[in-house]
């Protein structure tokens, strides 16, 4: 779910990673959230309230009994108004207190009083993290519904390499969006999304591929996650980073993509936003093809199977048609031939770039004959429109 207008309470506890919480606060504000920060006493040894007051333009809570603090008058105010409570970084100590139900400072008190979802981003020394006490506390908290993001393996402040680094800011924000959208209109649904290009090998070093960046498919996958769906993202090679909270399955060839999509048969929806190659070389040379005296090289290409036509077992099937001419006619033919619920027609020969861009201009055609000519919008906005259609199509089929 979008963070815009949401009230996020950010608790910061006494980890050496507390300085990274300033970036988390800043990115939450940039995403349009209203951010209220609570610092534990230990956190204030690492970072100052001024940092967070400056970033959030809001008072920072440091002490329950401070007569100047709103919380001294109404000690559960933040708990009642929070849309989500995020603790980043969450120390071993803080999580032990939460697991035990303690409420001896503003952060633990708010955690106990709030009905809002709890997101924990632990950060600590690897041995502290692996300790059975910490692991038991984490289990208790996740069983109660807390969402964990990280920690990550890597170099720790101690100099050791191990598990315990605070998750990246992008992953933490994604976890908050996921927590906010847990009860969204795709709750309990499984959505399979394909994205990116495929690569058909020619020899050990060369491939035939296309210009798909994967941005559209990744945007749909993230939007579905943030509306409560379990998401499987089947992706060809892209430069995009692995989105948090999504089951990402990397493939190379169209045949691999087909097998991977079919393996998720039984899911509620399949949205094919990938650009799988239509052709593959008939033979893959075992060694690098050498330049000879000939002026030309002839490669015979075989047609690949069409994934959307080949797969079955999805309640709703939707596709994309990237066309450089006769856009709507070609798209309608594909919609019918592949038995889709709707198709997103994309003019890739227009003046504005589609591949790699953050924007897209499409027309959606549906099986009932509807034509929706959408204005140019971000791929994230378009992902929302596409998922609205998936939700409506699922509801329509279940009414029947």
Ligand X SMILES: Cc1cc2nc3c(=O)[nH]c(=O)nc-3n(C[C@H](O)[C@H](O)[C@H](O)COP(=O)(O)O)c2cc1C
Rg over CA atoms, the chain: 25
- Should residue 94 be labelled a site residue for ligand X when binding is judged by CB under 6 A? yes
Stretch of 13-21, 219-227, 328-336, 375-383 contacting ligand X, by CB under 6 A: 13-21
Closer CB to ligand X, residue 111 or residue 260? 111
Closer CB to ligand X, residue 96 or residue 348? 96
Pattern of binders to ligand X over 124-153, x per CB under 6 A? x---x-------------------------
- Should residue 3 be labelled a site residue for ligand X when binding is judged by CB under 6 A? no
| DSSP H or E segment with residue 185 | none
Distance of CA 139 to the CA centre of its chain: 23
Question: How far is it, in rounded angstroms, from Cα 304 to Cα 218?
Answer: 24
365 three-state secondary structure:
strand
Choose which of 15, 34, 169, 253 interacts with ligand X (CB under 6 A): 15
Residue identified by tokens 């036509």 is 309
CB of 168 to ligand X, least distance (A): 16
> Looking only at residues 23 through 82 of this chain, which bind ligand X when binding is defined by CB under 6 A?
40, 42-43
Question: How far is it, in rounded angstroms, from Cα 132 to Cα 51?
Answer: 35
Determine the size of the site formed for ligand X (CB under 6 A): 15
Choose which of 23, 93, 185, 256 interacts with ligand X (CB under 6 A): 93
CB of 156 to ligand X, least distance (A): 8
Residue 269 burial (CB count, 10 A): 25
The residue count of the chain comes to 400
Closer CB to ligand X, residue 127 or residue 182? 127
Question: How far is it, in rounded angstroms, from Cα 216 to Cα 16?
Answer: 37
Choose which of 61, 123, 221, 234 interacts with ligand X (CB under 6 A): 123
Q: Does residue 177 come out as left (phi exceeding 0), alpha (psi in the -120 to 50 range) or beta?
A: alpha
Determine whether 304 is an active site residue. no
- Should residue 98 be labelled a site residue for ligand X when binding is judged by CB under 6 A? no
**Choice among 137, 210, 304, 346 that is catalytic:** 210
CB of 61 to ligand X, least distance (A): 13
DSSP 107-130: HHHHHHH--S-EEEEE---HHHHH
Q: Among residues 230, 179, 242, 227, which one has the least CA distance to residue 384?
A: 227
- Positions that interact with ligand X (CB under 6 A): 13-17, 40, 42-43, 91-94, 123-124, 128
* Catalytic residue set: 210
């Amino acid at each position: 779910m979008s963070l815009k207008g949401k009230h996020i309470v950010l608790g910061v506890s006494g980890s050496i990673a507390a300085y990274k919480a300033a970036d988390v606060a800043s990115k939450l504000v940039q995403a349009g959230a209203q951010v209220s920060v609570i610092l534990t006493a230990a956190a204030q040894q690492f970072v100052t309230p001024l940092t967070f007051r400056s970033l959030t333009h809001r008072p920072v809570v440091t002490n329950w009994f401070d007569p100047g603090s709103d919380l001294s008058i109404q000690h559960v105010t933040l708990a009642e108004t929070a849309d989500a409570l995020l603790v980043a970084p969450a120390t071993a100590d803080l999580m032990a207190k939460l697991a035990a139900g303690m409420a001896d400072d503003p952060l633990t008190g708010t955690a106990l009083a709030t009905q809002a979802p709890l997101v924990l981003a632990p950060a600590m020394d690897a041995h502290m993290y692996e300790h059975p006490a910490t692991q038991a506390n984490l289990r208790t908290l996740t069983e109660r519904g807390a969402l964990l993001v990280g920690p990550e393996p890597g170099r720790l402040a101690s100099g050791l390499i191990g598990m315990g680094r605070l998750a990246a800011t992008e992953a933490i924000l994604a976890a908050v969006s996921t927590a906010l959208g847990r009860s969204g209109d795709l709750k309990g649904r499984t959505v399979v999304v394909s994205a990116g290009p495929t690569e058909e090998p020619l020899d050990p070093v060369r491939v035939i591929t296309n210009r798909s960046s994967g941005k559209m498919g990744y945007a749909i996958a993230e939007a579905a996650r943030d509306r409560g769906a379990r998401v499987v993202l089947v992706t060809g090679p892209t430069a995009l980073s692995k989105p948090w909270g999504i089951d990402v399955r990397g493939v190379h060839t169209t045949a691999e993509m087909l097998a991977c999509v079919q393996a998720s048969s039984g899911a509620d929806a399949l949205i094919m936003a990938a650009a799988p190659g239509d052709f593959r070389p008939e033979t893959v040379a075992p060694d690098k093809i050498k330049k000879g005296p000939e002026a030309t090289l002839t490669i015979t290409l075989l047609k690949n199977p069409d994934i959307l036509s080949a797969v079955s077992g999805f309640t709703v099937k939707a596709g994309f048609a990237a066309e450089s001419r006769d856009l709507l006619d070609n798209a309608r033919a594909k919609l019918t031939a592949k038995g889709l619920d709707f198709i997103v027609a994309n003019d890739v020969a227009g003046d504005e770039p589609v591949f790699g861009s953050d924007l897209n201009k499409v027309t959606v055609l549906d099986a009932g004959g509807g034509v929706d000519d959408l204005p140019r919008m971000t791929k994230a906005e378009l992902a929302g429109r596409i998922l609205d259609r998936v939700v409506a199509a699922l509801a329509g089929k279940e009414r029947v």
